Amino acid sequence: MISEKMKGLVNNNSVIRQMFEEGKIMAEKYGKENVYDFSLGNPNVPAPEKVRETIAKLLESEDPVIIHGYMNNAGYPEVREKIASSINRRFGTSFDESNIMMTVGAAAGLNCALKAILNPGDEVLTFAPYFVEYKNYVANYDAELRAIEPDTSTFIPDVEALERSITSRTRALIINTPNNPTGVIYSEETIKKIAEVLEKKQKELGTEIFLISDEPYRELVYNGDEVPYVTKYYDHTIVCYSFSKTLSLPGERIGYLVVPTEADPSGELFTAITIANRVIGCVNAPSLFQKVVAECLDEKADIDFYKTNRDILYKGLTEAGFTCIEPQGAFYLFMKSPVPDEKEFVTEAKKEHILIVPGSSFAGPGYVRISYCVARDTIVNSLPGFKRLAERYGLC
């Protein structure tokens, strides 16, 4: 009935689906407030009020044929120009509308970029642990994702391992900072080292290697850390941005791609990416929300709410005896499982009505991902359960 490629995905899907169904059954059985669901990365703070105001204003003042209509597949030129100016102002770059394509979120942006550059048999590298969809996105174009193993003491990219991993078939490296699932931010030093290795390997192998920076969590930063703007360090960079988390609009599917002129002197890559947007079926990013985000580029959802969540959770877990890196950004905490098989720990946690995701789902076995974009009470009320788990495993 279904295609060969989809069969594996369907089988794999049922595991996650099962978890989701289990959560629903648990909520019915024990009451929603007694189930601590940390499994999803769905923002739980509302969009800034300005989003609502901007929609209302646009509906009052603009021609519906324009705001709900087709435009160039790359997006409205004035929206792209405003985004370019905003990036330039904040990061000292010099983009204009010709460098920006509006996308159906970062997921579609990644697909457009990969479709534009990958041939069958190419390799794409990424640092483990990583967002599991990268594997599926790369497989869409018959290329192969290869993961570089982490230094689990820091989860900072192992740049020497990167150098060893690059072959003549390596077409791209995907990075994600602030990182899902670890919450680590790659420092300027790390980005510079990555850029150096890619430059060196490009020369050595006579190939072009793209650095694809997936940045949905760029604005979710808690300790005042800088998130370096990657195009400044390496020419062959493509940035995939999403407003899903910054503006709490994940369902609206709105983001953009940045293709610097240095990566694309002839404009051929931008044309290819724009055609990919059309051909994969997106056609264009949703029109009204293109205009909305252009008016909300200096807005943020209440990031401090996540910061407080992080602080309470991190303190509670480490005090209970668990080992975890303090997340610097995003809204995930990657915690070491007290037993090598973290799936066993995930099952134990369920007995405390705590739902967490096995690290294996992110190519990070031995760890679990805890999403803290949840109600404050969920965190506070889950801590006694985590404490009991720690006791049971002899961590305290």
Does 121 sit near its own copies (CB under 8 A)? no
Binding test (CB under 8 A) with its own copies, winner from 24, 90, 164, 278: 278
Taking the least distance from each CB to its own copies, the nearer of 142 and 188 is: 142
Cβ of residue 88: shortest distance to its own copies, in angstroms?
25
Distance CA 15, CA 91 (A): 41
Q: Which structure tokens are listed for 84?
A: 């370019």
Q: With beta carbons less than 8 A apart as the criterion, state whether 144 and 166 touch.
A: no
Specify the stretch interacting with its own copies by CB under 8 A; choose among 48-56, 149-157, 184-192, 225-233. 48-56
CA distances from 247 to 179, 216, 289, 295, 299 (A): 18, 10, 11, 12, 7
Binding test (CB under 8 A) with its own copies, winner from 28, 29, 31, 64: 64
Does 116 sit near its own copies (CB under 8 A)? yes
- Phi, psi for residue 103 in degrees, rounded to 5: -130, 160
How many CA within 13 A on the CB side of residue 345?
A: 27
Specify the stretch interacting with its own copies by CB under 8 A; choose among 80-88, 123-131, 132-140, 177-185. 132-140
Binding test (CB under 8 A) with its own copies, winner from 147, 205, 275, 297: 275
Does 47 sit near its own copies (CB under 8 A)? yes
Nearest to 209 by CA among 193, 198, 194, 217: 198
Cβ of residue 94: shortest distance to its own copies, in angstroms?
21
Q: What would the x/- binding string for its own copies be over residues 280 to 319, using CB under 8 A? A: xxxxxxxxxx------------------------------
Q: Which structure tokens are listed for 338?
A: 């007290």
Taking the least distance from each CB to its own copies, the nearer of 253 and 353 is: 253
The residues, any chain, with a CB within 8 Å of residue 212's CB and separated by 6 or more, are 110, 113, 114, 172, 173, 174, 175, 237, 238, 240
Binding test (CB under 8 A) with its own copies, winner from 29, 32, 68, 315: 68
Specify the stretch interacting with its own copies by CB under 8 A; choose among 159-167, 266-274, 307-315, 388-396. 266-274
Specify the stretch interacting with its own copies by CB under 8 A; choose among 147-155, 173-181, 227-235, 277-285. 277-285
For its own copies (CB under 8 A), the number of binding residues is: 75
Cβ of residue 10: shortest distance to its own copies, in angstroms?
5
Distance CA 68, CA 65 (A): 6
Taking the least distance from each CB to its own copies, the nearer of 119 and 168 is: 119
Q: Which structure tokens are listed for 331?
A: 């809204």
Distance CA 190, CA 179 (A): 14
Positive or negative: CA dihedral 311, 317, 319, 321: negative
Q: What would the x/- binding string for its own copies be over residues 72 to 111, using CB under 8 A? A: --------------------------------xx-xxxxx
Does 69 sit near its own copies (CB under 8 A)? yes
Site residues for its own copies, 208-227, by CB under 8 A, read: 208
Does 206 sit near its own copies (CB under 8 A)? no
Cβ of residue 189: shortest distance to its own copies, in angstroms?
30
